[in-house]
Amino acid sequence: METSVIYDDNLDLLRKGARWIVNQGGQYSGKTVNILAALATLCSEEVGGGVTTVTSMSFPHLKGGALRDFEMFVYPEFKSSIRKYNKTEHIFYFKSGSILEFKVFENEIKARGQKRKRLFVNEGNSFNWMVFFQLDSRSDQTIIDYNPSIRFWCHENIIGKDGSYLLISDHRHNPFLNLSKHKEIENICTFAKDERGNIMKHKSGEPIILSGDYELWKVYARGVTGNITGIIFPNWEMIDVNDFPEESDFIFGIDYGYTNDPTAIVKIAKIGNTLFVKEIAYETGLSPEQIKAILRANGFTAYTPLYSEHDPDMIKALRKVGLQNVFPARKGQGSVNAGIALLKTMTVKYTNDSKNLHRERGQYVWEKEKDTGRSTNIPVDKNNHAIDSIRYPVYTRYLKAA
C-alpha cells in the first residue's frame, strides 16, 4: 500500500525496539493509517510475533476510527498475510502466528489482564491515564497518537522519558490528501505577509493575524501542542465513565443546534463543589421527540429539571411532547462571563465518552487582541455547544448557592 514518512519512522523505531513512540499530529496527517500499516507489517513478518492490541476510549470511537481505517485501507493490502479475521471479536490472525486485536477496556480492572507485544492507543488525549498505565505496563512497546489541542498525561508522564520518541506530523506529511483539504487546513488562520511571502510579526514575536484562530492553526495545521494559557477551562479533568455518580439529584442542560449546528445535551451531578458532567447527545437535526427519547434513556424523569437556552418556540415544542420541566436559563448582560466565572470556582470532571465536550474544551478560548496577540476576557463564540449546555444549568441552578 502507499504510505508516508510516518509509516517509515514508526516502523523503523519499532524495529529498533523503541519503548514508547508518541505520534503528535495535526488534522489529516494520516498518522493513524500509517501506524496501523506499520503494525500490520510487523505482524506479517514476525513468526509467532505475539499479540498487538489497538484500543481507544470507547468501542464506537474505535469502530468509527482505527478499526474502520484498518478494514478500509490496511486489511485489503495485507489480506494474503492474514489467515483469519474474526469479525465478531475484531481479531486478525496472521499466518506468521501474530495476532492483531481491536479491543476496548472500560476500566482499570479490565486492563489488568493479558500481556502483549505491542499496544497502540488511538487518540490518547481522550484515554484514561490509569487504564493506559495498566495496559502499558503489560506491553513491550507502546504507540500513542493524538491531536495536540491541550496538554494531557502523555506530556507529563511519557514524553521525555528514556526510551520515548516524539514524532510530530501535520497535513503536509500526507501526500494523498487533496489540494483543497490542504488549503482548508492552512486557512484556519490567515497571516499578514511581506512582499517575499514571509509571515510578518509583532515585536513580541507573535505573527500578525489578519483573520482566523492562531491557536487552532498551530494545533491542526502544524501539530503543535495548543497554548494552554488561551484555553478558558484548562483544569477540567477527564474521568472514567464508570466514575460518574450512579445516584444524585441530576440536572440536565441543552443547547439547541437548529439546522447546521449540533444540539448538545449533558447530564450533570454536583457533589460538594465538584461538578460531574456526561455528554449524552451531540447531533444535528434532533426533533423534540428524539430529544425526549435521549433524555428518558439517560434517567430524566418528570421531576428532573432541564435548563435550556432562551428559545420560547423550542421550549414550547419540548413541553408539547411531555417534557414539562424545561426552564429557560438565567440570562442578562454579562451572563456568559458570569457563567464562566462560576464554572471556574468548581472542580469539573467529565466522562471519557464525552468526546465532543473534550474537543470543545481544547478549542474554547479567549479572543486575542489583534495588535498584541494577548488574550482578552471575551470568549470566542464558537466551539461551545457542549460548553453552553453546561453553563446554562450551572449558572441558573447554582449561582445563589455559590
Q: Looking at the structure, do residues 16 and 162 belong to the same domain, yes or no?
A: yes
Of 138, 159, 126, the C-alpha closest to 60 is 126
Where would I find the H helices in 80-121? none
- Tell me the pairing of strands 237-239 and 347-351: parallel
Judge whether 339 lies within some domain. Answer: yes
Q: Looking at the structure, do residues 284 and 390 belong to the same domain, yes or no?
A: yes
Q: Which residues of 207-242 are buried (b: 16+ CB within 10 A; e: fewer)?
A: bebeeebbbbbbbbbbbbbbbeebbbbeebebbbbe
Average pLDDT, the chain: 92
Instruction: Please write the tens of the pLDDT for every residue from 192-207.
Output: 999 999 999 988 788 9
Q: Looking at the structure, do residues 125 and 242 belong to the same domain, yes or no?
A: no
Per DSSP, the three-state class of 247 is coil
DSSP at 346: S
The pLDDT value recorded for residue 251 is 97
Q: Looking at the structure, do residues 282 and 352 belong to the same domain, yes or no?
A: yes
Judge whether 231 lies within some domain. Answer: no
Model's pTM, two decimal places?
Answer: 0.65
Judge whether 126 lies within some domain. Answer: yes
Judge whether 178 lies within some domain. Answer: no
Residue 121's pLDDT band (cuts 50, 70, 90): very high
Instruction: Please write the tens of the pLDDT for every residue from 218-264.
Output: 889 999 986 545 788 888 888 888 899 988 899 999 999 877 789 99
Judge whether 251 lies within some domain. Answer: yes
- Contacts with 21 (C-beta within 8 Å, 6 or more apart), sequence order: 10, 13, 14, 141, 142, 143, 144, 164, 165, 167
The pLDDT value recorded for residue 333 is 83
The pLDDT value recorded for residue 226 is 66
Number of Cβ atoms within 10 Å of the Cβ of 274: 13
The pLDDT value recorded for residue 107 is 85
The whole domain housing 392 covers 237-398
Task: Calculate helix-pair angle for 385-398, 335-344, nearest 10 degrees.
Answer: 80
The pLDDT value recorded for residue 373 is 66
Q: How far apart are the first and last CA of the chain?
A: 59
Q: Taking residues 188-192, what's their average pLDDT? A: 93
Q: Looking at the structure, do residues 161 and 191 belong to the same domain, yes or no?
A: no
Q: Contact 256/311 with Cβ under 8 angstroms? A: yes
Beta strands in 48-204 (DSSP E): 51-55, 82-86, 91-94, 99-102, 116-121, 139-146, 164-169, 189-191
Q: Looking at the structure, do residues 220 and 241 belong to the same domain, yes or no?
A: no
Q: Looking at the structure, do residues 207 and 320 belong to the same domain, yes or no?
A: no
Q: Looking at the structure, do residues 191 and 254 belong to the same domain, yes or no?
A: no
Q: Looking at the structure, do residues 18 and 156 belong to the same domain, yes or no?
A: yes
Residue 125's pLDDT band (cuts 50, 70, 90): confident
The pLDDT value recorded for residue 347 is 94
- The CATH number of the domain holding residue 9 is 3.40.50.300
Judge whether 180 lies within some domain. Answer: no
User: Which range (39-53, 97-111, 145-159, 213-227) has the least confidence?
Assistant: 213-227
Judge whether 232 lies within some domain. Answer: no
Judge whether 182 lies within some domain. Answer: no
CA 69 – CA 381 distance, rounded (Å): 33
The pLDDT value recorded for residue 68 is 97
Q: Looking at the structure, do residues 219 and 241 belong to the same domain, yes or no?
A: no
Is the model's pLDDT at 22 over the cut of 60? yes
Is the model's pLDDT at 53 over the cut of 90? yes
- The CATH number of the domain holding residue 342 is 3.30.420.280
Instruction: Give the CA distances from residue 230 to residues 48, 227, 380, in Å, rounded to whole numbers and listed in that order.
Output: 49, 6, 10
Residue 401's pLDDT band (cuts 50, 70, 90): low
Task: Calculate helix-pair angle for 179-186, 214-222, nearest 10 degrees.
Answer: 140
The grid coordinates of residue 373 equal 496577540
Is the model's pLDDT at 87 over the cut of 90? yes
User: Which range (210-219, 243-252, 319-328) has the least confidence?
Assistant: 210-219
* Burial class of 81 by CB neighbour count within 10 A (0 to 12, 13 to 18, 19+): middle
Q: How many domains does the chain have?
A: 3
Instruction: Please write the tens of the pLDDT for every residue from 91-116.
Output: 999 999 999 999 999 888 999 988 99
- Tell me the pairing of strands 209-212 and 189-191: antiparallel
Q: Looking at the structure, do residues 165 and 192 belong to the same domain, yes or no?
A: no
Per DSSP, the three-state class of 119 is strand
Instruction: Please write the tens of the pLDDT for every residue from 350-386.
Output: 998 898 898 888 778 888 776 776 778 899 888 899 9
The grid coordinates of residue 308 equal 435550556
The grid coordinates of residue 173 equal 506529511
Q: Which residues of 141-150 are buried (b: 16+ CB within 10 A; e: fewer)?
A: bbbbbbbbbb
Q: Looking at the structure, do residues 217 and 248 belong to the same domain, yes or no?
A: no
